[in-house]
């Protein structure tokens, strides 16, 4: 197979032809000329238009062939478009806009960046980091413009730390299709307001359920912008608060009872926080010994285990009765962290009970957040939130990529 044929098979050349290919192992140069059987097309409206003049030669970087750099060269024509009523450079099907690389190379770089850091992709393809960033930017712009948001009814909202110093981005996920819908810098009311502005009134009205944690700015915006949806507090975040309260009881008891009690409680933190069926044999034996003592942490542990039964109910009425009973136990336990947790649950009781009306949670969100953390870890961090958000869309948004005549990955 001739190299000219390889170029024709991997580059979209409708209306053009490869006149010659020159070069050696250091690089190949393919010269492209217009096919005079076809009229040039306007680069703005893609309509056929009469020829006006020819511009200087432009060079386009193509996907390397067996590690050999490939460059396309072409002298673009300008046309006088009657539809646009202006003079424009003709449309070149192998490139997007004024890019200096072919669409095939753009999609190849963008595909590799979903599994490798941008810097590593730049090294593999012997190009600049900015070239890779441009490829990702084009892929994300195309994907966001062509993705399908129809049928979006259940979303999960959560924030993720971008770097040290409480710097966050807010992510909104589609709980049914398990993909990122929107990401914005910060976790304020204005951040979530921007999401609903992006979503629009029609799609917002179609939302049936929204799951989030008990962050008040989120709650206020959701109840204001999507009052028809069912607000469900994520049970994993609620349990996380409960675990923090149990651990705080352990810490307080150690501080109050001194060094001797600290030695008794040595390496017992996860014994109190683990599920009983996840305990090792040694941990289960140690727990049995500690339960014989009149410890405050043991009362907190029993309250934690009793709260587990709350999630087993199927009807809201029975769940409310049990929660009222558990609230009495917690507030009369003489354990301040458990009392604080109980009152927090009481303040948000109605929204917590919405779980039994619409049993959704942010388990999917937590899994996607772990992937979002992997995105930043493998890149050793991003200097700007814009680059991080762009890569989140690219890796977690399930965005479509433009079709090319040949797939290199």
Structure tokens at 12: 């979209």
Query: What mean pLDDT is reported for the chain?
Result: 89
Instruction: Give the tens place of pLDDT for each residue, 57-103.
Output: 999 999 988 888 899 999 999 999 888 888 999 999 989 888 889 99
Supply the range of the domain harboring residue 378. 154-234+361-396
Return the pLDDT at 363. Answer: 82
Q: Are residues 189 and 260 in the same domain?
A: no
* pLDDT above 70: residue 44: yes
Q: Are residues 69 and 213 in the same domain?
A: no
> Does residue 271 belong to any structural domain of this protein?
yes
Among 274, 359, 358, 344, CA closest to 308: 274
Beta strands at 77-81 and 167-174: parallel, antiparallel or unpaired? unpaired
Return the pLDDT at 271. Answer: 85
Q: Are residues 254 and 333 in the same domain?
A: yes
Instruction: Give the tens place of pLDDT for each residue, 14-40.
Output: 889 998 888 887 889 999 999 888 989
> Does residue 229 belong to any structural domain of this protein?
yes
Asked which of 58, 73, 94 is the last residue of a domain, the reply is 94
Cα 206 to Cα 58: distance, rounded to the nearest angstrom: 48
Q: Are residues 311 and 325 in the same domain?
A: yes
Return the pLDDT at 1. Answer: 60
> Does residue 111 belong to any structural domain of this protein?
no
> Does residue 125 belong to any structural domain of this protein?
no
Q: Are residues 328 and 277 in the same domain?
A: yes
Q: How many structural domains does the chain have? A: 3
* pLDDT above 90: residue 331: yes
Cα 111 to Cα 148: distance, rounded to the nearest angstrom: 20
The domain that holds 366 is classified in CATH as 3.30.420.10
Q: Are residues 260 and 300 in the same domain?
A: yes
Averaged over 165-179, what is the pLDDT? 89
Within 10 angstroms of residue 208's Cβ, the number of other Cβ atoms is 14
Residue keyed to tokens 């990702």: 136
> Does residue 50 belong to any structural domain of this protein?
yes
Averaged over 121-126, what is the pLDDT? 90
Q: Which residue has the higher pLDDT, 287 or 191?
A: 191
Q: Are residues 189 and 283 in the same domain?
A: no
Q: Are residues 332 and 249 in the same domain?
A: yes
Return the pLDDT at 323. Answer: 94
Averaged over 297-313, what is the pLDDT? 92
Interacting residues of 98 by C-beta distance below 8 A, sequence separation 6+: none
Evaluate the CA torsion angle 331, 337, 340, 342 in order and state its sign: negative
Asked which of 94, 125, 143 is the last residue of a domain, the reply is 94
User: What predicted TM-score, i.e. pTM, was given to this entire model?
Assistant: 0.82
Return the pLDDT at 23. Answer: 83
> Does residue 122 belong to any structural domain of this protein?
no
Q: Are residues 206 and 274 in the same domain?
A: no
CA atoms within 13 A on the CB side of 187: 20
Q: Are residues 225 and 320 in the same domain?
A: no
Q: Are residues 164 and 306 in the same domain?
A: no
Q: Are residues 337 and 255 in the same domain?
A: yes
* pLDDT above 90: residue 222: yes
> Does residue 404 belong to any structural domain of this protein?
no
Are 271 and 287 spatial neighbours (Cβ–Cβ below 8 Å)? yes
> Does residue 405 belong to any structural domain of this protein?
no
């Amino acid at each position: 197979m001739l190299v000219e044929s390889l170029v024709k098979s991997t580059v979209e050349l409708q209306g053009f032809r490869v006149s010659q290919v020159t070069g050696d192992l250091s690089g190949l140069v393919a010269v492209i000329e217009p096919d005079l059987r076809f009229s040039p097309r306007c680069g703005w409206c893609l309509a056929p238009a009469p020829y006006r003049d020819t511009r200087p030669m432009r060079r386009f970087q193509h996907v390397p062939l067996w590690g050999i750099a490939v460059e396309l060269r072409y002298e673009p024509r300008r046309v006088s478009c009657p539809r646009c009523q202006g003079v424009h450079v003709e449309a070149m099907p192998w490139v997007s806009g004024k890019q200096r690389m072919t669409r095939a190379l753009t999609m190849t770089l963008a595909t590799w960046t979903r599994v490798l850091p941008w810097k590593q992709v730049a090294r593999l393809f012997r190009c600049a980091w900015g070239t890779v960033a441009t490829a990702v930017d084009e892929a994300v712009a195309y994907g966001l413009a062509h993705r399908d948001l129809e049928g979006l009814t259940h979303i999960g909202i959560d924030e993720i730390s971008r770097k040290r110093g409480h710097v966050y981005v807010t992510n909104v996920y589609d709980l049914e299709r398990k993909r990122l819908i929107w990401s914005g810098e910060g976790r304020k009311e204005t951040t979530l307001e921007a999401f609903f502005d992006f979503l629009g009134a029609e799609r917002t009205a179609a939302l049936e359920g929204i799951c989030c944690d008990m962050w008040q700015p989120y709650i206020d915006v959701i109840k204001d912008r999507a009052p028809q949806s069912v607000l469900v507090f994520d049970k994993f975040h609620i349990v996380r608060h409960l675990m923090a309260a149990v651990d705080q009881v352990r810490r307080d008891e150690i501080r109050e009872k001194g060094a001797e009690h600290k030695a008794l409680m040595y390496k017992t933190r996860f014994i109190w926080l683990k599920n009983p069926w996840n305990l090792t044999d040694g941990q289960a034996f140690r727990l049995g010994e500690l339960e014989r003592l009149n410890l405050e942490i043991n009362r907190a542990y029993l309250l934690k285990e009793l709260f587990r039964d709350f999630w087993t109910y199927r009807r809201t009425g029975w769940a409310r009765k049990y929660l009222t009973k558990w609230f009495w136990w917690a507030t009369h336990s003489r354990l301040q962290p458990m009392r604080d947790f109980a009152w927090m649950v009481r303040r948000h009781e109605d929204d917590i009970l919405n779980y039994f009306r619409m049993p959704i949670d942010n388990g999917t969100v937590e899994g996607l957040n772990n992937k979002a953390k992997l995105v930043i870890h493998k890149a050793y961090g991003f200097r700007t939130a814009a680059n991080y958000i762009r890569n989140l869309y690219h890796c977690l948004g399930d965005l479509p990529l433009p079709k090319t005549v040949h797939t290199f990955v």
